[in-house]
Amino acid sequence: MDNKHYGDKIRNIREIRNVTLEELSERTGISLKVISSIENGSYMPNLTPLIKIARVLGVRLGTFLDDEEGIGPVVVRHNSKNYGIHFSEKENNGSTGLDFYSLAPSKSGRHMEPFIIDVINDSSKEYPLSDHEGEEFLYVLSGAIEIYYGKEKYVLNKGDSIYYDSIIPHNVHAFGSENAQILAVVYSPF
């Protein structure tokens, strides 16, 4: 699925809820230009703005990422990356270096968002901090990552994990010269 698909979902939910672009901008603190870019598919932000939009629209974050909702368990097979989404860092589509693959794309009513995330190495970039309500659990499957968390920095290698409150400004990126892969579970209160 491309960013246009996700943008269409957000716009459809906003329209069903009778929320104008201006109201959504005001209530989320996200500029009108950014929300328009998200809805037209030219920009897919990181999780923080999406969580704010979901909260204002009264839906779970996963609602934007789901394809079809199912009641029973969801099985995602090894090497099945059908539900990948690449988040942008800037309106000009600068990359976050994170490719997310949902592990529960059609599970209805879930409270956690499990992902496999490919963390792409880009040592030439800055690492802006973001924050949102909720919690995150990260487990390193391969490579190494660095987490900026408030004023602290943590380096995690294969087999290491971290669990933190995501209300504290944070950033996750590859550490060293290699890419990394992590299992991430994000909880965002509704």
Digit-coded pLDDT (tens) for 29-40 = 999 999 998 898
CA distance 145 to 156: 5
> In the chain, where does the domain assigned CATH 2.60.120.10 lie?
84-187
What pLDDT is recorded for position 126? 78
| pTM, two decimal places | 0.68
What are the per-10-residue average pLDDT scores of the chain (190 residues)? 74 90 92 90 79 86 63 67 53 59 75 88 78 92 96 97 95 92 88
Cβ–Cβ under 8 Å, residues 24 and 45: no
Tokens of 67: 């394809």
CA distances from 64 to 33, 41, 108, 117, 151 (A): 19, 13, 12, 17, 31
What pLDDT is recorded for position 92? 41
> In the chain, where does the domain assigned CATH 1.10.260.40 lie?
3-65
Residue 113 exposed, middle or buried by CB count within 10 Å (0-12, 13-18, 19+): buried
The amino acid at residue 68 is E
CATH assignment of 84-187, among 3.30.70.260, 2.40.110.10, 3.40.640.10, 2.60.120.10: 2.60.120.10
**Run of H or E residues at 4:** helix 3-16
CA distance 123 to 50: 26
CA 125 distance to own-chain centroid: 19
CA distance 115 to 50: 15
The topology (CATH level 3) of 3-65 is: 434 Repressor (Amino-terminal Domain) (1.10.260)
CA distance 42 to 36: 9
Please give the sequence-ordered ranges of beta strands (E in DSSP) within 69-176, or none if there are none.
84-88, 95-102, 112-119, 135-142, 144-149, 152-157, 161-165, 170-174
CA distance 88 to 174: 16
Digit-coded pLDDT (tens) for 143-177 = 999 999 999 999 999 999 999 999 999 999 999 88
